[in-house]
Amino acid sequence: MIPVIGYEGRRVAVLGLGRSGLAAARALAAGGAEPLCWDDSAEGRARAEAEGFAVGDLTRAGALDDVAALIVSPGIPHLYPAPNPAVAAAFAADVPVDNDIGLFFRSVARGDHDRPPRVIAVTGSNGKSTTAALIHHVLREAGIGSQLAGNIGRGVLDIDPPGDGDVVVLELSSYQTELARALTPDIAVFTNLSPDHLDRHAGMGGYFAAKRRLFAEGGPDRAIVGVDEPEGRYLANQLSQGRGDDRVIRLSVERRIAGPGWSVIGKGGFLAEWRKGRQIAAIDLRGVAGLPGVHNHQNACAAYAATRALGLSPRAIEAAFRNFEGLPHRSQLVATRGGVRYVNDSKATNVDAAAKALQAFERIRWIAGGLGKEGGVASLAPFLGSVAKAYLIGHSARDFAVQLTSVPVEICETMEVAVARAAAEAQPGETVLLAPAAASFDQYADFEKRGEDFVARVAALPPV
């Protein structure tokens, strides 16, 4: 646990009592603060009470009179589409609002060591979980103490205090970066940007601004930036002091980046590192089973750049890449039956992530659908060349069927029917791919539960 500093003997309110909220309450108490907890659900309040925390409705009159700060869990809106009533009350009472990420950066000790620990923070629209996990894996394989936390792994305040030379790897969503009052990673990574969570951020500008805060608030020692979108090119330009400034490492899977700076390129299945206008290292990614497809090659470029920035050798990084098994629900090979591969990419909750998955495999039986996002799947038309047929599930199945005019479609409604139909029609050499291009909340609690259902339905198929 990372005890929170700066609130000794003071009352601090905690709103939202899921994983990060309860961890924040524990860490505040460990630092000498007095947590006052609230959750809109009775179950959340009961969990806090069971741990001995005071519970009180933060919207009642006078509830915030003696509160030093309000700590808000990531899923709770504080501005758009409308502030949570407790957050609005804090604004009205001039109570500072923060989150567990802000508490972590103000409390993690990095000065009292012979070799100070470092923090690598990864954000972006797609690939940040795999990138963060891959960085963590490479560090562990190299014998460097590493902990993985944030939007993946443990809550940031729930980790152990890092020791000499250790590294904390954080995956940070826009919900986490937009509110944190302290953001001071040593290395910050921006993978890419595509439309997502637009209602929460009032459009693409607000969404990008939330991501950009990771680089603007504290000024990392080194920034690693994907430049295949305009926002990434803008960010890299804003951070760089000139063409040879190697504090900014540019990433691309679309083109070679000219000039004397530091870049990592992933094209044609190969990763290449360029510095001062010449190539200094390369890795063949085509045979790395845990990193299939161009989107995972982009993740590999980001992880390579981050670990190279820490001083690891290309050979050590490549060796670690080759035994990386990937993450559940992200291009996860779950079975091969009768020459047909079954791949779980339930984390592909938007069209950009689904497009990347569709480009990673040939001859696809595609399971898609769920709670569709703004714009549906019409923009996926250029990426359907390998799709033999789409099997559509969930709330938006019929809307998706209308939009997918270039491939055969079948409305299956449920995962059970979709897996059974795809398996019955798949031929040897094909891939049954779950890449929903939609949120899961119409039928499942989260994308993990959706992916687990896919895996279970595949396991239950009759023998071939």
Q: Which of 354, 373, 344 is nearest to 441 (CA)?
A: 373
Q: What is the C-alpha to C-alpha distance for residues 364 and 190, in angstroms, rounded to an integer? A: 30
Say if residue 151 carries a ligand binding annotation. Answer: no
Say if residue 323 carries a ligand binding annotation. Answer: no
Say if residue 177 carries a ligand binding annotation. Answer: no
- Which residues lie below 8 Å from residue 24, measured CB to CB, with a gap of 6+? 4, 14, 35, 71, 73, 99, 100, 103, 155, 157
- Measured at the alpha carbon of residue 291, what is the angle toward residues 433 and 422, in degrees to the nearest 5? 10
Amino acid identity at 448:
E
Q: What is the C-alpha to C-alpha distance for residues 83 and 419, in angstroms, rounded to an integer? A: 40
Q: Using an 8 Å Cβ cutoff, are 64 and 70 in contact?
A: yes
Q: What is the C-alpha to C-alpha distance for residues 53 and 342, in angstroms, rounded to an integer? A: 46
Tokens of 242: 């000139």
Q: What is the C-alpha to C-alpha distance for residues 185 and 215, in angstroms, rounded to an integer? A: 9
Q: What is the C-alpha to C-alpha distance for residues 326 and 144, in angstroms, rounded to an integer? A: 20
Q: Using an 8 Å Cβ cutoff, are 70 and 95 in contact?
A: yes
Q: Using an 8 Å Cβ cutoff, are 210 and 141 in contact?
A: no
Q: What is the C-alpha to C-alpha distance for residues 222 and 272, in angstroms, rounded to an integer? A: 19
Does the CA dihedral 376-379-381-387 come out positive or negative?
negative
Q: Is 458 exposed, middle or buried (0-12, 13-18, 19+ CB in 10 A)?
A: buried
Say if residue 128 carries a ligand binding annotation. Answer: yes
Say if residue 127 carries a ligand binding annotation. Answer: yes
Say if residue 130 carries a ligand binding annotation. Answer: yes
Q: What is the C-alpha to C-alpha distance for residues 21 and 368, in angstroms, rounded to an integer? A: 33
- 268: which DSSP letter? T
Say if residue 211 carries a ligand binding annotation. Answer: no
Amino acid identity at 234:
Y
Tokens of 141: 């394989």
Binding residues: 124-130
Annotated binding-site members for ATP: 124-130
